[in-house]
Amino acid sequence: MRDIDPQPGSLDLPGPYLLFLGDTVEEGYAKTAFGLRDWASERCVGEFALPGASVTTGLDPLSPAAAYARGARALVIGVANAGGVIPKSWSGALVEALEAGLDIVSGMHARLAAVPALAAASARLGRRLIDVRSPPPGIQVASGRKRSGRRLLTVGTDCALGKKYTALAIARGLQGRGVDAEFRATGQTGIMIAGSGIPIDAVVVDFVAGAAEMLSPDAPPEHLDVIEGQGSLFHPAYASVSLGLLHGSQPDMFVVCHSPARTRVLGHPDYRVPTIGMVIEQTVAMGKLTNPAIRCVGISLNTSGMDEAEAEAELEAAERATGLPAADPMRGGARFGRLLDSCAA
Amino acid sequence: MRDIDPQPGSLDLPGPYLLFLGDTVEEGYAKTAFGLRDWASERCVGEFALPGASVTTGLDPLSPAAAYARGARALVIGVANAGGVIPKSWSGALVEALEAGLDIVSGMHARLAAVPALAAASARLGRRLIDVRSPPPGIQVASGRKRSGRRLLTVGTDCALGKKYTALAIARGLQGRGVDAEFRATGQTGIMIAGSGIPIDAVVVDFVAGAAEMLSPDAPPEHLDVIEGQGSLFHPAYASVSLGLLHGSQPDMFVVCHSPARTRVLGHPDYRVPTIGMVIEQTVAMGKLTNPAIRCVGISLNTSGMDEAEAEAELEAAERATGLPAADPMRGGARFGRLLDSCAA
């Protein structure tokens, strides 16, 4: 995937990256590192782990100094841990990275500068500590003005079921067909993958639609921004994030992302996951405020854990229910090709 | 109006107030002071103006020391000025207030503590500088859990057309009938009037529904929170604020506020103001997520600038169009009585 141009109001990350794995022994904690390896391999020069770590991305193990020599300009914390804190046992390695000339990029809840050793070393060495959960300065209130170029937004029936990977797969698939498409990141992993973006859920609510406007600025008529969705209009806590992103993005097209196995909203078991049809109807009803031409162009199903026949049955059912192409981008194939056709039409 | 109990996550203001008018000569800049005089007279002991001011609330002119002797515990900046800055010419008077034992409360964009003389004096004297645009700490992500007690939310066809005053008038009117009703403030003027609340539009978007939940906590079955609405679901910049407030408030009832003279969204002339019917339909469609029993109980029209016959014609038309009682709370009368009947039913 090509690097995107940094936007006013966007975070702009240094790179390429050295992926830091800490002392992690659980694969599930290294999702960020695996995501970067899979989706931003051209931004990753190697990995760096502490003694005791058993997780690996398969990239070359490199010291910070060796990574710098190969072109790395940032160490990215590619692992999470319980509580989102930065353990003391990491400090020495992170200071070593700063001393080797790397900035540090983190998507953890804890702020890098809250670790005294990192704050001191970064000040002494003139290096940056970048928390990708912190929105950049300069975000404005939305104008509502129609922008040039085209936009596609991934929306969902819930959180955490494939909106980011769907947007990445569509952007990459269209780029492969020669379409002038760019992935626009709205969450921390997406921002690390793209090297730029705005963590939309961390923006003050008055400015959230404005942040979405700045993320996908005026563009040539045929240009397509593929915008990573967040939350769901049917989420009791995060619908507000989804609506601000919808209004500010002014999408011409949207793709509904759904996980057939998910029947209850993640973390809110009193709430049923809406149907795909409900999400299409409500997204059009709300989205037409800022783009009267908004339309649904397809369905992305997360069929992980299903065998081929089960997945095929779910995809077939989704197509029948909506009359729109349905695919699991992770499975690719002819179905995904038809979803891309619909996005390119 | 009774003081409300401070809530966890709510700002809790000291009082009573001395209203500061600065050197203001334009009545339009003193809306906060007039609002406090009209809606929170029991919280106001007097006014304090600089030489050259020509605006007055009609309250007793008092020095900070005299106000403190009469019980005042906070000086409230009751005037705005272009740019929302705190002019240098105010510094001496504000420091005098701190020295007299008053905290300072401001709803301006500029932070009080950004004025070096105020920061120094408040630190030296142990006084508080309270910016009511700053959300309190401790706001959680919304749970979506149904709370006990009853809730009414004012919603609007646009910003700045009477949602705050409608909520205040309904709360006060129902209190006058012996209903256990409380006004819940979501904007800076409302917070100053109530002495408590959360500036909802300044909350990080991930937490906005959670803030609304904390603003109107579990209550006895007959208790009614009357919640000040913000923005509009049809506003290209602020719909996200309105949706988070709607979902977190879980209102049983809502009243639509509208200004018949307003045809274009304030500050967004490319956008038409929606009809009352559109707002009812969309508020029910979205609000039923967290409260399936949500219903519209009436219409509040801002008929300022109209003569009696014009206002009556507008109110009659709104009733005919919606089948619901319509009133201008500022005009009171039998129409407002019927709106209260509907809120109490």
Q: Is B295 helix (H, G, I), strand (E, B) or coil?
A: strand
Instruction: Round to whole Å and give the CA distance between A64 and A146.
Output: 46
Is residue B237 within 8 A of residue B172, CB to CB? The reply is no
Q: Which of A201, A237, A268 sits opposite B210 (nearest CB)?
A: A237
Spatial distance between the Cα atoms of A103 and A344, rounded to a whole number of angstroms: 38
pLDDT at A234: 98
What amino acid is encoded at A260 in this protein?
P
pLDDT, residue B10, reads 81
Site from B134, B230, B238, B240 to mutate, A interface, most A CB atoms within 10 angstroms: B240
Residue in A204, A237, A247 closest to B144 by CB: A237
ipTM (interface pTM): 0.93
Chain A residue numbers with beta carbons less than 8 Å from the beta carbon of B286 are 233, 239, 282
Q: Which of B133, B205, B242, B290 to mutate to test the interface with A (most CBs of A within 10 A)?
A: B205
Per-domain residue ranges of chain A: 11-131, 150-344
> Which residues of chain B, if any, have pLDDT below 70?
1-9, 82
* Contact (CB, 8 A) for B222 and B175: no
Question: Considering the entire predicted model, what is its pTM?
Answer: 0.94
Q: What is the pLDDT of residue A3?
A: 41
As beta bridge partners, residue B304 has: none
CB contact under 8 A, B143 and A268: yes
User: Does CATH number 3.40.50.300 belong to domain B150-344?
Assistant: yes
Identify the pLDDT of residue A4: 43
User: How many CA within 13 A on the CB side of residue A178?
Assistant: 0
CB spacing of A237 vs B143 below 8 angstroms: yes
Task: Tokens for B286, please give them.
Answer: 């979205």
- Whether A205 and B209 lie within 8 Å, measured CB to CB: no
The alpha helices in chain B, defined as continuous H runs, are 31-39, 64-69, 91-99, 116-125, 163-176, 188-194, 208-215, 239-249, 276-287, 308-322, 333-344
Determine, for residues B286 and A290 on separate chains, whether the beta-carbon distance falls below 8 Å: no
Radius of gyration of chain B (CA): 20
Contact A271 B204 (CB under 8 A): no
Contacts of B285 in chain A (CB under 8 A): 282, 285
Q: Exposed e or buried b for every residue in A184-216, given b needs 16+ CB within 10 A?
A: bbbbbbbbbbbbbbbbbbbbbbbbbbbbbbbbb
pLDDT value, residue B8: 58
Where does A11-131 sit in CATH, by number? 3.40.50.720
What confidence tens digit (pLDDT) does each residue in A299-339 have?
999 999 999 999 999 999 999 999 999 999 999 999 999 99
Give the Cβ contact number of residue B99 at 10 Å. 15
Residues of chain A with pLDDT under 70: 1-9, 82
Question: Quick one: pLDDT at residue A7?
Answer: 53
Backbone angles phi, psi at A180, to 5 degrees: -80, 75
> Closest residue of A to B289, CA-based?
A234
CB of B11 within 8 A of CB of B132?
yes
Can you give the pLDDT at residue B2?
36
Find out whether A259 and A162 touch, Cβ atoms under 8 Å. Answer: yes
pLDDT digit string (tens) for A138-191?
Answer: 899 999 999 999 999 999 999 999 999 999 999 999 999 999 999 999 999 999
pLDDT number for residue B108: 87
Q: Which residue of B has its CA nearest to A291?
A: B236
pLDDT score, position B1: 33
**What does residue A228 show for φ and ψ, rounded to 5 degrees?**
-70, 120
CB contact under 8 A, B240 and A236: no
How does DSSP classify residue A166? H
- Closest CA relative to residue B261, chosen from B144, B160, B176, B183: B160
Contacts of B243 in chain A (CB under 8 A): 239-240, 243
CA B323 – CA A153 distance, rounded (Å): 38
For CA atoms A36, A39, A44, A48, the dihedral sign is positive
User: Which of A230, A147, A190 has the alpha carbon at shortest distance from B236?
Assistant: A147
